[in-house]
Structure 1
Amino acid sequence: MSKVVVTGYGVKAPNTSNSKEFVDNLVNGVCCLETVNHLTPKGESTVVGVIKEDLLEFLPDKAYARFPRTALLGMAAGKEALSHSKLSDLKSKKIGVFFGVSVGNIGDVNFQESILNVHQNNYREVPIIFGHQGNHHSITSAIAHYLGTKGMTKTISTGCTSSLEAIQDAAVYLKSGVIDVAIVGGVDSPISKAAAFAFAKTKVLPLNQSLDDAAVPFQSSSKGFAMSEGAGVIILERETDALKREAIILGEIDRIVSNNDGVFIYSVDQSGEQMINALREVLNHRHPDYVNSQALGIQLNDIIEQKCSKELLNHKVPYTSIKSMIGNPFGAIGIIQVISSLISINYGFIPPTIRTRKKGFEDMNIVCDTIFKEINEVAITNHGYGGNNACAYIKSYKKGESS
């Protein structure tokens, strides 16, 4: 069976306009987060990751004036990914577009204004596009239209695992021959009072902590995670097709495994059993060069990562978390972790977990400073609100090796 390979990627993240800037930030361990105090119940400070650029490429065209921010972010990342892949003949191929979205437009200003008008019974002020603003799949279809595709278009929504599971679905369609090319992405813009209030209620939002202590992976003093926004897109093809068109292959999607904790909706699984099971299956007795972890500063989640490291890898394999730099962009994080892993493979380094002092996690092999070395295999862990776990295994491309 032909391998599923990556031939292009694009990214938008806090302080990150494109993949070149993403490389620089990862190599140099740049903190792209900031503290704000306008989102929380009593004006407490919290940490967020905001994309501050105005997406200037879309501003001259009035057709995009009413597009939600999520769609614009996904369009920009998708445009870069297609350009990177040098795919120019989309109309002659069967294209599938798969996007992971968790909370969608909850952080979009226009959507928030529409909700306010509803509560104030201002029917005339509610825009005709209000239905699309609240529909996750309208985000994906807008991106697909902008990229020039009319074929299979799917939206996956499983919380923060959404985009990793979008890759999982796309690989199945590629291997079965239903599609020739998969444009796979993830996007979310969650930063809002609604999200801040929700996570403050569950005590996973850091309140009144500085950047030294808040939203720090693998740090027992961290009281929660950093909400951020972002988008990532990769181009997937079968190896045979990519070689036929002489594409540059950036890496291989070796395997993705997902499951659910299977617990009551308002409870959490503290054992980490299903995450351990998913990672065990994706590792398949292999030791990667490092684990690109979902650790984000929520103690329960990070302790589960610690359990995975001990039980499956005996703390011998290096762990890192890019969320220390860019925060957690919800449904986009999985695919951004994949892109960071591909960058790591192609540029030869392990990105650091910045800001952590490893308090409470001293037994783990946590990478705190950039390590420059050859990278061939990376495992990725991801957990979503709602109990889904997803793990991936990404490999450097070597022609002729069996899948």
Structure 2
Amino acid sequence: MKRVVITGMGIISPLGNDVNTFWNRLVNGESGISLIDTFDTSQLKTKIAGCVQGFDAEGRWGKKEARRLDRFAQFGLAAAEQALEQSKLQLDKVDRERIGVYVGSGIGGIHSLIHQVNVMNERGPGRVSPSLVPMMISNAAAAQISIRLGALGPSLSPVTACSIGNTSIGEAFYAIQNGAADIIFAGGTEAAITKLSVASFGNAQALSARNDEPAKASRPFDIDRDGFVMSEGAGVLVLESLENAVRRNAPILCEVIGYGASSDAHHMVASDPEGKGAYLAMKHALAKAKVATDEVDVISAHATSTQVGDRSEMLAVKRLFGNRADKVSITANKSMFGHMLGAAGGAEAIALVESLRHGIIPPTINIDTLDPECNLDIVANSARKVSLDYGLSNSFGFGGHNSAIVLKKYE
């Protein structure tokens, strides 16, 4: 079995569109949540989101090319290009049949779909773009990345809702470990902040309605949390066999050593209240990594800021870690950039890599009163500097999909 390392990372997020900006704002406890200004929210219960700012698709690829890509595919491609640059991968000097792309999206090209529905209603079916389907399908980002890279290896677009990022990273880890590829670009991308989706999530009472205090709306583990904050972006990482990375003298940022997946088998949208699936995903990930619970230094929690979700995840941690549950540091990145849905796992994996590299755990902001049922070692309101070797990252999604990855500081 081959060892698997991370050699490049790329991020598009409400906290910045490059890894350094994203990481610095995370460590400083800054919020990327604001009032939505891209459409009329006057009739919506929720008027806030984590919106990507300063992203110039036309400046990056030109007007014609940018218009061929839905926003979610633009984000995914931009993150992959960043990851490619950091990895120092020279595509003309590697076997492209050994390069894969595992990048998924939960909702896909909803912007393109809504736009073309409006075109049809206003101008008739003859005016609907023939490019709608290839723009809106969820595998469009993975396909576009593969095309740009000339990557001829395995290409997948996992759809496991909000656990997509970890699913992609974990499955890529397995593929490289088992020799199916040398290099895989893995992660998730999402751009679903539309009036339709915000209305739907809002009517389901899943979103925070703390519209007068956007920066304080996402508050995992706080007793007064009232729902998640929807956000957008992409997180893509380059996973590579250690031997391949060493051979080409690539920058090695971290090592991937474990992956676990499970299903709640409980409900389409509600988390299992006892956290059974979350427990199993973490358990399997640690078993694969051959890491004991007393070796885990930090958990990057899924923690979306919902009452049931946060509590069930903490119940799972207590069950798995037992008497040591209150000794492992826990942080929730979504407190700062909101819930990026299918892109969340990729973004949080990037944050965990940087934590392990720098020995800093970003804070969970907006904790005024800790929920007694979440009474573990939450890194609250300010970053913590500490020696770190092993980190566990959780991602869970609608339908009961759960995935967890284990990362190790590379020495």
Structure 2 length as normaliser, TM-score?
Answer: 0.91
Which is richer in helix? 2
Paired residues of 1:213 and 1:221 also in contact (CA < 8 A): no
Question: Which of 245, 267, 272 is equivalent to 1:269?
Answer: 272
CA distance in 2, matches of 1:187, 1:59: 18
Paired residues of 2:47 and 2:209 also in contact (CA < 8 A): yes
Mapped pair 1:386 → 2:399: yes
Paired residues of 1:161 and 1:382 also in contact (CA < 8 A): yes
Mapped pair 1:98 → 2:102: yes
Paired residues of 1:215 and 1:298 also in contact (CA < 8 A): no
State the 1:266 CA deviation.
6.1
Paired residues of 1:39 and 1:192 also in contact (CA < 8 A): no
Mapped pair 1:111 → 2:122: no
Paired residues of 2:58 and 2:66 also in contact (CA < 8 A): no
Specify the alignment match of 1:181 in structure 2: 183
Paired residues of 1:295 and 1:323 also in contact (CA < 8 A): yes
CA distance in 1, matches of 2:341, 2:5: 25
Runs of 4+ in 1 over 6 A off after TM superposition: none
- Once the two structures are overlaid, the 10-residue window that deviates more, 262-271 or 309-318, is 262-271
State the 1:289 CA deviation.
1.3
Q: Secondary structure, in 3 states, of the residue corresponding to 2:157? A: strand
CA distance in 1, matches of 2:270, 2:188: 26
Specify the alignment match of 2:313 in structure 1: 305
Question: Which of 395, 398, 401 is equivalent to 2:408?
Answer: 395
Paired residues of 2:162 and 2:395 also in contact (CA < 8 A): yes
User: Residues 347-403 of structure 1, C-alpha deviation per residue, up to 9 Å, x if partnerless?
Assistant: 2200000112243146221102111122211111111011101111110113xxxxx
Question: Which of 372, 375, 398 is equivalent to 2:385?
Answer: 372
User: What pairs with 1:111-260 in structure 2 (closer than 5 Å)?
Assistant: 111-120=113-122, 122-209=124-211, 210-211=213-214, 213-260=216-263
User: What pairs with 1:11-30 in structure 2 (closer than 5 Å)?
Assistant: 11-30=11-30
- Once the two structures are overlaid, the 10-residue window that deviates more, 336-345 or 136-145, is 136-145
Specify the alignment match of 1:75 in structure 2: 77
State the number of aligned residues: 396
Structure 2 portions without partners, runs of 5+:
none
Specify the alignment match of 2:4 in structure 1: 4
State the 1:212 CA deviation.
5.9
State the 1:104 CA deviation.
1.2
Q: Secondary structure, in 3 states, of the residue corresponding to 1:156? A: coil
Q: Which amino acid aligns with 2:316?
A: C
State the 1:98 CA deviation.
0.6
Specify the alignment match of 1:324 in structure 2: 335
State the 1:48 CA deviation.
0.6
- Once the two structures are overlaid, the 10-residue window that deviates more, 41-50 or 23-32, is 41-50
Paired residues of 1:29 and 1:352 also in contact (CA < 8 A): yes
Paired residues of 2:107 and 2:192 also in contact (CA < 8 A): yes
User: Residues 24-56 of structure 1, C-alpha deviation per residue, up to 9 Å, x if partnerless?
Assistant: 112211111113385658343433111122235
Paired residues of 1:49 and 1:326 also in contact (CA < 8 A): yes
CA distance in 2, matches of 1:21, 1:159: 27
Specify the alignment match of 2:293 in structure 1: 286
Residues 271 and 331 of structure 1: CA distance in aligned 2, closer, same or farther (over 3 Å): same
Q: Secondary structure, in 3 states, of the residue corresponding to 1:391? A: strand
Q: Secondary structure, in 3 states, of the residue corresponding to 2:10? A: strand
User: Residues 119-166 of structure 1, C-alpha deviation per residue, up to 9 Å, x if partnerless?
Assistant: 457213311111113311222211221233233221110101112111
CA distance in 2, matches of 1:296, 1:166: 20
Residues 202 and 45 of structure 1: CA distance in aligned 2, closer, same or farther (over 3 Å): closer
Q: Which amino acid aligns with 2:286?
A: L
State the 1:320 CA deviation.
0.5
CA distance in 2, matches of 1:293, 1:196: 24
Structure 1 portions without partners, runs of 5+:
399-403
Q: Which amino acid aligns with 1:366?
A: I
Paired residues of 1:41 and 1:197 also in contact (CA < 8 A): no
User: Residues 92-137 of structure 1, C-alpha deviation per residue, up to 9 Å, x if partnerless?
Assistant: 241111112101122x2x4321122334572133111111133112
State the 1:62 CA deviation.
2.3
State the 1:13 CA deviation.
0.4
User: Residues 220-269 of structure 1, C-alpha deviation per residue, up to 9 Å, x if partnerless?
Assistant: 21111111111111111111111122222111111110111112446552
Q: Secondary structure, in 3 states, of the residue corresponding to 1:161? A: helix
Q: Which amino acid aligns with 1:272?
A: G
